[in-house]
Amino acid sequence: YLERYIEDLNNVVVEQQQIIDRLKKHLSHLEGKIPLSPLEEDRPHCEKPPHY
């Protein structure tokens, strides 16, 4: 019984890792295709908002 349970659990973990790997690859591909938005390029990093 336990051997079957461990085997099933291992199969689930392997499948999840394969999905995670595919998602990471897809995300990396998308990050390379999407340029920075104009707001992110022009925004100063240390400037405080006007209400300060």
Q: How far apart are CA 38 and CA 47, in angstroms?
A: 17
Task: Please state, rounded to an integer, the average pLDDT across all residues of the chain.
Answer: 85
Mean pLDDT, range 5-22, rounded to an integer: 98
Instruction: List, for residues 19-39, the tens digit of each pLDDT value.
Output: 999 999 999 999 888 876 665
Q: Is the pTM of this model over 0.85?
A: no
| Reduced 3-state DSSP string for the chain | CHHHHHHHHHHHHHHHHHHHHHHHHHHHHHHHHCCCCHHHHHCCCCCCCCCC
